[in-house]
Amino acid sequence: MGELSNFAPFVLMAVVVYFFMIAPQMKRAKKEKTFAAELKKGDRIITKSGMHGKVVDLNDKDHSCVIETLAGKIKFERSAISMEMSMKLNKVPVAKK
């Protein structure tokens, strides 16, 4: 029983690390994957580097997309699109009374 109680803090620490660090990261990665998979033509997006544009073509073969900017059309990997910033860009503001 004494040896088991020596390992209890390590087991507790592993459980805490899992629930506060690993599980939320896995949940976020899953949301980003579904966001990239649900992109469609006409979506307004922002890349992680800050470039704004509109999706004009999607390629499922190499998981890329072509976005149209003021400078022209540019091909990006879908993983380069920022989910948070794109969601904020597409959010319709609520009119205040």
- Whether residue 46 is contained in a domain is answered as yes
Q: Is the confidence at residue 1, as pLDDT, over 70?
A: no
- Whether residue 95 is contained in a domain is answered as no
Contact 81, 47 (CB under 8 A): yes
- Whether residue 97 is contained in a domain is answered as no
Q: Phi and psi dihedrals of 38, rounded to 5?
A: -90, 5
- Whether residue 96 is contained in a domain is answered as no
What's 42's domain CATH number?
2.30.30.140
User: pTM for the complete prediction?
Assistant: 0.72
pLDDT band at 68 (very low <50, low <70, confident <90, very high): very high
What percent of the chain shows pLDDT beyond 90? Answer: 66
Contact 63, 36 (CB under 8 A): yes
Comparing C-alpha atoms, which of 51, 43, 49, 47 is closest to residue 72? Answer: 51
- Whether residue 41 is contained in a domain is answered as yes
- Residue 77: give the domain boundaries: 2-90
Q: What is the pLDDT of residues 12-59, one digit of tens each?
A: 999 999 999 999 999 999 999 999 889 999 999 999 999 999 999 999
What's the domain count of the chain?
1
